[in-house]
Amino acid sequence: MPVLYGIKNCDTVKKARRWLDEQQIAYRFHDYRADGLDADMLQRFIAELGWEALLNTRGTTWRKLDETRRESIQNATSAVALMLEMPAIIKRPLLCAPGKPMLLGFTGSSYEHYFNEV
């Protein structure tokens, strides 16, 4: 069963969940805040996608960081520490389905392609 990772009040996560529901695709939702995020889980995401892709540098959480803190994020170690401390800074949603690569972000066409690949 696919797992959708994110934060429940994120507008993009809401769009992804609505799309999955409309397509009648069963999935499990994992809220980073409610269900947690640990280093092992984050390392699995980074191993496939890279820390640069996961770190949302365009969102409000990133913009609220002071400049010194933003400039200190230079490698996977510093990025992991920040993402564990502030899960809202992770780009979302992240979709994981058995036997498929992880899919980061949401558009209807990307999900359509993801679920209709042969």
- How many Cβ atoms are within 10 Å of 16's Cβ, its own excluded? 26
Catalytic residue flag (residue 96): no
Q: Please state, in angstroms and rounded to a whole number, the distance separating the CA atoms of residues 22 and 14.
A: 12
Catalytic residue among 4, 5, 10, 13: 10
CA pseudo-torsion sign 12, 17, 23, 26: positive
State the catalytic residues: 10
